[in-house]
Structure 1
């Protein structure tokens, strides 16, 4: 009998068999929190087998702290007032991955269940996709990420105070064959890692900026696309640090260079016919009525859902004119200055690119928001505004297309959004908005270098 492969695992029984076949004493189990940070642990084999059937418990503090392990003081779900009890999680057998840096070790994803499941990013995406299936559609997506690489370590960047960092390569050399050839070993290693961990990269190249790389992950069903995007970010950083390098997915690490995007390509297919729900050869740009309504929903709800695409203080430093990031809820056909780019094609390739998101967004939440808004547009038969032709940065746009300019404002728009509460549930909206308010409050406690330079002596 041939050796079982991780990507072939579909059921709990098959998960049990592959662990036994490899003689593993432990496996790795991980989940993603609100910020898209992966958390988890090694789990002893018998405990894992039990969890396959009955789930397991994990302290719910991971839903009650921020990306620096600081405890929220403004959320209802958990806190000192609840005593931080355990929350139930369930193993996802078909998420099984190889961990090539750890020999035969296997990784399984888990997701929260019960009341905690209402806040679980992966669970939220699943609920949105189920809504789409109820409408007769299956969603497909792919994620593109830009990230900067540095000749630094976690220790060195802290010793330098995150200043004067040394990029992997110098100068602005987008799509450079020179750079990718000189560092071909690194590129090949990353491509091989992506293949072995089942988030295959269909395109990898340098972008404009010192040490910046863009990776386009292959298309898949939307839930699988979320898994692939989330794992890509984590294990790209793991791969880099194991080689004495660092990768960052900050939205913008330097005011001198473009920010880092997290673009999302989306399409719907009809469940009954298997055909593209977006492609209609008889319509302008091959946009079906369904795609037109989908784009309209995304456009209308973009200002209300922005916090799910731009979830950090740093996200908003990227959303400025002229740096390849949208500044209003606009759409156009093959127009990279707009927030939504309709890409005409065939039954196979007709899609829309959601260009607003930054690389720091939680892939599950960004997908849930982008797809949920589109489904809302279909349900309500919304019509998009007039498409933008030309440079969107140079045009005046209607006031309703304006995007929030700060994380605090974005959190308030999300809290007040009836559409968000309909799609995502009150529990998630209240919790996520509170976590973004917390993030803004944490920022306000600090004095920036800019303030010291500007005010210390002269004022």
Structure 2
């Protein structure tokens, strides 16, 4: 989209405010709101803001060990430069438009630590090999009342009757996303009280990640309009299902004339082998919080080990090959609190590594995968960070600067949790010890 076209849309639609947005390391959408006039004046050079969003935790807590921004270097500026092709009208707020931004230093160099830049790097690698990666997102969340409790109790997975009770807000989410330029396949009830899954249309990896970042933020915004909360927390309640983030993926030829997973069975097997080979080491990129790891339990629809199987939701990788142009692999170790750019980048990097090194997958699992004799997934955030830190492939494919920043943030989060005194501890020990 050219700036002249955007200017015409702004004038025709009466747009007075443009949101400039980007995802931080945690996947939280951050940025600035500017007047439409100022946006048109600065669209090419970008808008300056501090690098802090790439160097703080999810609550904007600062810590000293990040090279990109700290008190020693004074938290210098970066430039948020609009990606004009992502400009769109905000459907649920009058007079407002939105555009995604790429992040640059003041000399015009792209910031390697930016999550969107990390994914772009992997996509470029795939393209250089002659592949065009297509990806789909399945993302779960809970819809909560004003007291942050589920809107109904009990499990009614796929129920149209119970779903109709939530349609007053889900309809606005579904139509709002469509009018926002994000194609939605479906919303449906999931396996928890007022738990919902949103499925976005399959598409190019970078576009799909963009859409997923925007969809998460839009769903939360629209819920608040109705006095509700939408949470993508991985495990809000110990006794209820966690919220997963499943990545469907396939490789196509550059012109999208054929699904290479269908055309070339050997290629698909090498890609599958790469996914499995790096599942444990890359897991923290798709399950990045202390809370993420509490959803991985046997017989819970969340995998507990590195397995694969055909159309089997207990395995880490669910194979849906042999389905013509619908052939794909579904990776199921992601949690809903993941940064979409990073979980997609990790999946593609693992699969491409498998192709480049002609890896062979282990034997298929034929039954309940949680009972299989296979490599166990990390038990907690600290262990997952340890595996990532030892993995050189992550640094090669995703960028060493980014990996170091991600590890620093993750270790900070784990340390805060280790030092916290919880309600569980007080209830268990305070009186009786």
* Equivalent residue in structure 2 for 1:339, among 316, 336, 343: 316
* Alignment check: 8 A CA contact 1:51 1:91 kept: no
Q: 1:183 to 1:56 in 2, by over 3 A?
A: closer
* Alignment check: 8 A CA contact 2:260 2:268 kept: yes
Write the distance in 2 (CA, Å) between the matches of 1:128 and 1:14. 31
Does 2:111 match 1:117? yes
CA-to-partner distance for each residue in 1:421-454, whole Å, 9 max, x for gaps? 1101110010001100011011122111221122
Q: 1:12 to 1:126 in 2, by over 3 A?
A: farther
The residue that corresponds to 1:85 in the other structure is 76
Does 2:245 match 1:262? yes
Does 2:356 match 1:379? yes
The residue that corresponds to 1:327 in the other structure is 304
The residue that corresponds to 2:123 in the other structure is 129
**Normalised by the size of structure 2, how large is the TM-score?**
0.95
Q: 1:108 to 1:272 in 2, by over 3 A?
A: closer
The residue that corresponds to 2:382 in the other structure is 408
Write the distance in 1 (CA, Å) between the matches of 2:417 and 2:348. 30
Does 2:398 match 1:424? yes
* Equivalent residue in structure 2 for 1:206, among 186, 189, 211: 189
Write the distance in 1 (CA, Å) between the matches of 2:392 and 2:404. 12
Does 2:180 match 1:197? yes
Q: 1:378 to 1:334 in 2, by over 3 A?
A: same
Q: 1:273 to 1:216 in 2, by over 3 A?
A: closer
Write the distance in 2 (CA, Å) between the matches of 1:298 and 1:384. 9
The residue that corresponds to 1:61 in the other structure is 52
Q: Unmatched 5+ residue regions in structure 2? A: none
Write the distance in 1 (CA, Å) between the matches of 2:182 and 2:63. 33
Higher mean displacement: 341-350 or 328-337: 341-350
Write the distance in 1 (CA, Å) between the matches of 2:24 and 2:65. 17
Write the distance in 1 (CA, Å) between the matches of 2:210 and 2:299. 32
Write the distance in 2 (CA, Å) between the matches of 1:436 and 1:182. 39
* Equivalent residue in structure 2 for 1:394, among 359, 368, 371: 371
* Equivalent residue in structure 2 for 1:169, among 139, 149, 152: 152
Q: Secondary structure at the match of 2:126?
A: helix
Q: 1:116 to 1:270 in 2, by over 3 A?
A: closer
Write the distance in 2 (CA, Å) between the matches of 1:68 and 1:198. 29
The number of residue pairs the alignment matches comes to 430
CA-to-partner distance for each residue in 1:386-439, whole Å, 9 max, x for gaps? 111100112222xxx222211112112212211001101110010001100011
Deviation at 1:272, TM superposition (A): 5.9
Does 2:145 match 1:151? yes
CA-to-partner distance for each residue in 1:350-404, whole Å, 9 max, x for gaps? 000011101110111000001111011111111111111100112222xxx2222
Q: How does 1:224-263 map to 2 (within 5 A)?
A: 224-263=207-246
The residue that corresponds to 2:135 in the other structure is 141
Write the distance in 1 (CA, Å) between the matches of 2:143 and 2:389. 36
Write the distance in 1 (CA, Å) between the matches of 2:179 and 2:185. 14
The residue that corresponds to 2:278 in the other structure is 301
* Alignment check: 8 A CA contact 2:119 2:398 kept: no
Q: Unmatched 5+ residue regions in structure 1? A: 1-9, 158-164, 281-286
Write the distance in 1 (CA, Å) between the matches of 2:173 and 2:381. 33
Q: Secondary structure at the match of 1:57?
A: strand
* Alignment check: 8 A CA contact 1:145 1:359 kept: yes
* Alignment check: 8 A CA contact 2:132 2:256 kept: no
The residue that corresponds to 1:162 in the other structure is none
Q: How does 1:69-80 map to 2 (within 5 A)?
A: 69-80=60-71
Write the distance in 1 (CA, Å) between the matches of 2:270 and 2:320. 15
